[in-house]
Amino acid sequence: KQEVTQIPAALSVPEGENLVLNCSFTDSAIYNLQWFRQDPGKGLTSLLLIQSSQREQTSGRLNASLDKSSGRSTLYIAASQPGDSATYLCGCDRGSTLGRLYFGRGTQLTVWP
């Protein structure tokens, strides 16, 4: 079974700070790891997908890294803004069961002006 843990569970910071959200997984035989954001009452919005052959992906102020051997991924948010306030979820598959994603419980981020 793939178990995904996200730390911290909640984070509250002032605008402008650089942030690091952590995701760890127990089975390193993954093909894909995906970061999402979820706004209250909404579905999940895909932020970044990292394939197992990649070490990082970047999109605007977001950078996600992957270290398969240690079972870790990090989402780095630069120069945080109040609009970044949301829950961030990490999901990854498992080599023996393609398709489904296993999710952590998320990090609830609040960025205040």
Partner 1 sequence: GAGVSQSPSNKVTEKGKDVELRCDPISGHTALYWYRQSLGQGLEFLIYFQGNSAPDKSGLPSDRFSAERTGGSVSTLTIQRTQQEDSAVYLCASSWTSGAYNEQFFGPGTRLTVL
Binding residues for partner 1, per CB under 8 A?
Answer: 31-32, 34, 36, 42-46, 49, 51, 89, 91, 93, 97-106
CB nearer to partner 1: give 13 or 22. Answer: 22
Q: Rounded to the nearest whole angstrom, what is the least distance from the CB of residue 84 to partner 1 in the complex?
A: 19
CB of 4 to partner 1, least distance (A): 9
Contact of 62 with 80, CB cutoff 8 Å: no
Distance CA 95, CA 80 (A): 34
Q: Which is nearer to partner 1, 71 or 91 (CB)?
A: 91
Q: How far is the CB of 78 from partner 1 (least distance, A)?
A: 23
Listing DSSP states for 26-78 in one string gives S----SEEEEEEE-TTS-EEEEEEEETT-SEEEETTEEEEEETTTTEEEEEE-
Contact 22, 80 (CB under 8 A): no
Quote the least distance from Cβ 43 to partner 1, whole Å.
4
Q: Which is nearer to partner 1, 80 or 87 (CB)?
A: 87
Complex with partner 1: residue 86 or 89, whichever CB lies closer? 89
Q: Output phi, psi for 36, to 5 deg.
A: -130, 160
